Amino acid sequence: RDRDRIMGSVDLDALRATDPDMAGTLERLSADPVTPAGCTAGGDMATLDADAKRISKAADRLAKRSERLEKAVAKAGQTVGDAESSRARSRLERAVAGARGLLAGSTADQYKVPYLYRRLEQLTEQAAGLLDDGSASPADMDRLSQGIDSMVASLASGTR
């Protein structure tokens, strides 16, 4: 149950794409452990003591394994989050570069809808601010880059 609770937040496919070694570690740590059999029936006191020690050590190993799994899951979440953020940032940087290229080579008067040109200028400045700030979420960066790309496409098809 602990394993399912701990691993519930991990997207192993995304992690495999980002960090295959970390994904392998999580798969190994989350695999069903080999647990020792219970006490042997009819054993003497020494046998029962040995069985109890063996089971106690196995329980300690399981607890440590669970701790390692929790730490690995936390690190994996950070790894995937960092990769998502990096990809979103790259997409936004490309969108800003494309928009600046279009804006530098034209004026609002060249387009059927000059408002879109001015709006693209605003979005480009907003995106540059987000890139400089560095605190935007990947979802925010993706929304902004999609908006910029959409405006660039609209302007490219709407030249007078």
Question: What is the chain's pLDDT, residue by residue, as a tens digit (160 residues)?
Answer: 455 665 656 667 777 777 788 778 777 777 766 666 666 666 678 877 887 888 888 778 777 877 877 777 777 777 777 778 888 889 999 999 999 998 888 888 888 888 888 999 999 999 998 888 877 888 899 999 999 999 988 887 875 5
List Cβ<8 Å contacts ≥24 apart for 58-63: 61/33, 62/33, 62/35
- pLDDT per position as a tens digit, 114-154: 888 899 999 999 999 888 887 788 889 999 999 999 998 88
What is the predicted pLDDT for the residue at 145? Answer: 93
Q: Which amino acid is at 149?
A: D
